[in-house]
Structures are given as C-alpha cells and as structure tokens.
Chains A and B, each alone.
Chain A
C-alpha cells in the first residue's frame, strides 16, 4: 500500500468515523445535560419560541450599528474566510465526485481556475486572522492551543489542495496524499476543538434568541 492508498483508504475512513461519532457525541453530551426550565411569566405578546430562535440567529449575522466599526474586520474577514471554505469545498469538481461517493448527491461544479482564486483569497483571509491573533493584545490573551491548532487544520487542506492542483513541489500522487491526510487531520480534530462552533452556533444563537424573545426584548 503506498501513501496515496493509505490516505484514500484507512486514513480517510477512520477520520470520517471519528468526525461523525465525535460530532454526535458532542451534541448528545450537551443534550443529555439537565436544561434549566424558566418558569417566569413570558412578556405579554411575546412571539413563539421558534420565532425567537430564528430572530436570534438572524440578529447576530451582522453587528449592530454601535459595534459596526469595532467588529467590522472580524466580521468581513470571517465571512470571506467561511464563504471561501464553502465555495472551495462544495464547488470543485473533484470534491463533488467525492461527496457523490459518500451521499449519492451531485451538483454542477465551478471552474477550477475560479476555485484556485477563491482558495488563495481564503488563505489570505486565514493569514489575516492569524496575524490579528498574534498581534492584537486581546486576541493574544484569550487564544489557546485550541485556537491555533484549529486554525492550522483549517489552513492545511486549502494550502495542500492548492499545491496539488498546481502540481507544485512533488509528484501529484504524493501531493494528493498529503492533501487527503490534512483533510483527515481536520476531520479528526473537528469534534474536539472549537470547530464545533459550526454546529453549536445554531444552539447558542437560538437559545439566546429564545431567552430574549420571552422577555420581550426587540430582536
């Protein structure tokens, strides 16, 4: 078995199961905790809880006016990075083939030149996020191993993917194998670190929306 076989086979399969079971465990472990009930009287005219949850989610998509200046770089850079990740992940022909193998669903791909462009922008935006983390006094103080490692495992698949499509530095099979190994690393780390925010964000924003909605705060 060569490196590519290993990366495509046991490595990816193991990583996918760690990801699936890990994410399920993180969500179930929270769900199994006791959740405090709130017997306070809802404000008269408060909308149903699900509307509160949806509004809570929407309200935090963009900073309110007084915070716009302070939060603008984080917000815009965050959107660039996340949309970049999504476009690269869901848009590249090879990724769609892989996803069809997993789920049986396929959709039209984007031109690979465009994907490479987006990948470069995404890497740039990740670099900016890291630069701010390393220089801003607030971010430096609150950053932990989790933040830096989560950054790294997000960065690597895009960087190695770019190298692979441009055949730079090593034979293609080796580059592809390294790319797949970096994806496995991302999948394995995902449930254990802060990348879980991609699931938890729906719970946290929803819960806060529900709480404020029942109090009659305008969301």
Chain B
C-alpha cells in the first residue's frame, strides 16, 4: 500500500461531476435500501456492501462536505484515503452500470450514471483496477482493448473472409453504412463478424469497415478515462466522415451502443453527424423492409437482453422483431426485457480479473432463469455478455447453450438464387 492517492484530484473530479442531475440524485437518496434487491451483485453475494446506494457514499460525501451549511461549518468530513481504498472495489468490480436499481428505487435515482462519474474521480486519484485501465490505454495506443491494431485488423478480416467464404469490405472509399466491431468478436467470436458481413451483403447494404475507426467498445468510458473515451468516439466520427456514411452500426455490444448512441454527443459537445444503430435495430429494419429472407429456427431458445440495449437503450423491441416469426420456439425468461438480470460482466467488469468469482456467482441467476424456460440455447446480442456467460458456463460446467443473435440469423438466410447468365 505504498502507492500515493491524490485525494485533491479525486475530490475535484467528484465535484466536477456533480452537475444538477447528479447532485439532485445524490441529495435525493432516502436510504430506504430497496435497491439492494434489484442488484445482481447483492442478490448473488448477500453482502450488504453491494447495495447500490452504498456504492455512492464517497461521491455523496465529497458533495456534502463542500456544500453549505454542513461542509462550511465543518460538520461534514471530507473524503479520506480509506474511503477511496474501500470503495474502489465497490465502484469498479461490483457495478455493471446496468440500471436495474433505478427501476426499484422510489426516488428513481440513476445510480449507474453516478457510478460512471465516480469512477473518473477514482482514476484521477490514481486508483482503479489495473487490467481495466490497461484495456483503456490499449484502446488509445493500439486501437482496441485487445490490441487489435489496424494491421492486425486487416489480417484478421482477411482470414475471417477466407475462412467463411464471405466478402468483407475494408476501407471501401464510399459506403452508406459504417460497421464497427467489438474486439471481443474480432478475436474470440470471428463467426459473428462473418455473420454480420453475410447479413449486410444478403440485404444489399452498401457498407464497409474502416481502419480509421473500427473499435466499437469504449473502455475509456468504462474505465473512467474521459480523454480516451473521447478519442474513441472521434475515431468513429472520422471514419464515418471519410466514407460518407450516414449510419454507424454498432455490433453485438451493449456498452458500445450505450456510449455512442446516448453519451458520445455530450462528450463532443455537439450532435453526431450520423445515426447510430445497434445491429439488432439494423436487422429489425432490414426485416421490416423485407430484405431478410429466413428459414425458420425451431430449437427452443430464449433471449438475453443486454442492459444497455434494452433497459437503458430503449431498443428492447428490436431483437424481438427480428425473432418474431423466425424463432418459432422462442420463450421469454422471467423477468425479461427491461427487467432482465444483467450478465454480471457489463461496465468493464468483464475485464477485471479479480471480479471473476463474483461474476460466476451472478451467473447462477441466469442459469436458473434459462433452465426455467426449458430452452436449449440462450441467445444474446452482446458479445461481452456472451464472453462473460461463456466463462461462467465453463466454471460451472453448465450444459446450456449460449449463442449470438447475428449468428443464428445468418445461419438461416435463404440465399437468393445467383443471377444466371
């Protein structure tokens, strides 16, 4: 414990976050404790420290100690090193910023938004899980948290295209749609990349990937590094501008969608020059326009809602639109949709190695949910959820199947008969 903590920087950053919304949320909490039961970390561990409201204590304390009258007359103590040391784990390892606690909160406090703000202060103080911070730095320095540089991307894409017999345009000079990728897909689920390419080609979309901006995930945001968060957004803006894309499609990644769709404009201080669609939204549109011709999928399956796409994203209906009529044996979990349990790995928690045992504990909620539906496969539209769940599945040697929405749809395309000469 020799590393020094910069308390002043932490306090300054805490206070910089407490604009009107956050300050009102902080002052509004009635300490009723209801939020504990909505949080998968508390439910899985039974540890009262995992209560969402408790996670806000340091930022609330910093706010109070600078506000009239208590702070001014010395009744409210400033935050100390102990606060930061104790809460580091709570704010990074035990919050996926899933927003479920807000639903149960009688005051409707947006705890996830406060956690995002609080993380910035911890990082300013020199704290934060090293692996999560490294993922953010790698995004800035190499283009992606998993070190997918532009060269590596070219190599991978060439290999994925070859291996799957699919055309994947990279750096096309002009395109209507810029597709972005999560490096989790590029490195661990290459079939997802091929599946998206097949789908876009099948629907006749003019699209491309770009080496100027290809990484959809934003670990700068998740790790509380505002400058990196902005850099990641700017790369996508540049890439979209260079090919003239009016639409940027986010692949199967919930947080990538949440950040680019709802937070990126605020980071830049101006609206984005393109529309942002999650791949499930894009597929739902293609289907509505009659551009997806599918054979039915009959296996009993269920759908896992990524928190940032459904509960906090507002696109809950789109995946269902894609599945309706196609997945003929689709069963909803209970609870589902906006009320779904989180996978336990969102908000960057997936990248924090020391949080793995807790994540596995959380996954039990999911195993139980899936088993109650009788479905053989749980399909998700987030590769980060999928990776989290695949790891926990291995840990428990669970027999359930875990799949991806784009992959099952791509596997059931009716290929148009080739134009005969």
Chain A: residues with CB nearer than 8 A to chain B?
Answer: 25-26, 29-31, 33-41, 43, 56, 59-60, 63-67, 70-71, 74-75, 78, 136-144, 146-147, 192, 194, 196-197, 200-201, 203-205, 207-209, 211-212, 215-218
Which of chain B's residues has its CB closest to A197's CB?
Answer: B30
* Contacts of B252-266 to chain A: CB distance below 8 A: 261-266
Interchain CA distance A205-B103 in the complex, whole Å: 11
Q: How far apart are A196's CB and chain B's nearest CB, in angstroms?
A: 7
Cα distance A137–B33 when bound, in Å? 10
A64 and B266 contacting across the interface, CB-CB below 8 Å: no
Closest to B109 in A: A204
Interface on B for A, CB 8 Å cutoff?
18-21, 23-25, 27-34, 36-38, 42, 48-49, 51, 53-54, 67-70, 102-110, 261-266, 268-272, 275-276, 311-316, 334-335, 338-339
Verify A192–B104 contact, CB threshold 8 A.
no
Given contacts A35-B21, A36-B266, A138-B48, contact A30 B103 (CB under 8 A): no
Question: Which chain B residues border A31 with CB–CB below 8 Å?
Answer: 20
Contacts of A146 in B (CB 8 A): 31
Q: Taking the nearest CB of chain A, how far is it from the CB of B37, in angstroms?
A: 4
**Contact between chains at B31 and A60 (CB < 8 Å):** no
Query: In the bound complex, do residue B314 and residue A194 qualify as a contact, i.e. CB atoms below 8 Å apart?
Result: no
Q: How far is the CA of A123 from the CA of B32 in the complex (A)?
A: 18
Q: Does the CB pair A33–B264 fall under 8 Å?
A: no
Contact partner, B24, options A200, A209, A218, Cβ 8 Å: A200
Closest Cβ of chain B to A192, distance in Å, is: 7
- Residue in B30, B103, B269, B271 whose CB lies within 8 Å of A41: B271
Secondary structure class of chain A's binding surface, majority of residues: helix
- The answer on a CB contact under 8 Å between A196 and B104 is no
Q: How far is the CA of A136 from the CA of B104 in the complex (A)?
A: 18
* Nearest-neighbor residue (CB-CB) of A37 within chain B: B266
- A78 proximity list for chain B (CB < 8 A): 32, 106
CB-CB nearest in chain A for B21: A207
Q: Which residue of B48, B68, B110, B316 contacts A211 across the interface (Cβ within 8 Å)?
A: B110
Which of B27, B51, B67, B69: most chain A Cβ within 10 A? B27
Asked if A30 contacts B270 (CB within 8 A), the reply is no
Assembled-state Cα–Cα distance A136/B276 (Å):
45
- A138 neighbours in B (Cβ, 8 Å): 33, 36, 42, 48, 51
Q: A29-B68, A66-B335, A205-B107 are in contact. Are A216 and B24 (CB under 8 A)?
A: no
CB–CB A34/B20 < 8 A: yes
| Whole-angstrom distance between the Cβ of A35 and the nearest chain B Cβ | 4
Q: How far is the CA of A185 from the CA of B270 in the complex (A)?
A: 48
Contact of B314 among A39, A65, A144, A216 (CB under 8 A): A216
3 A-B pairs with the lowest CB-CB distances in the bound complex, closest first: A216-B314, A70-B37, A35-B20
Bound Cα distance A209, B109 (Å): 10
For the complex, give the distance between the alpha carbons of A176 and B137 in Å. Answer: 67
* Cα distance A122–B396 in the bound complex, in angstroms: 49
Residue of A nearest to B336 (CB): A66
Residues of A close to B54: CB separation below 8 A: 141-142
Collect the chain A residues with CB atoms within 8 Å of residue B48's CB.
137-138, 140-142
Q: Are B31 and A147 in contact (CB under 8 A)?
A: yes
Q: Are A200 and B315 in contact (CB under 8 A)?
A: no
| Bound Cα distance from A35 to B19, whole angstroms | 5
Inter-chain CA distance A194–B338, complex, in Å, is 30
Could you pull out 29 A-B pairs where Cβ atoms are within 8 angstroms?
A29-B68, A30-B20, A30-B23, A30-B27, A31-B20, A33-B18, A34-B20, A35-B21, A36-B19, A41-B272, A41-B275, A43-B314, A60-B105, A60-B106, A63-B34, A64-B104, A65-B339, A66-B335, A66-B339, A71-B37, A71-B104, A141-B51, A196-B27, A197-B30, A200-B27, A207-B25, A207-B108, A212-B314, A217-B311
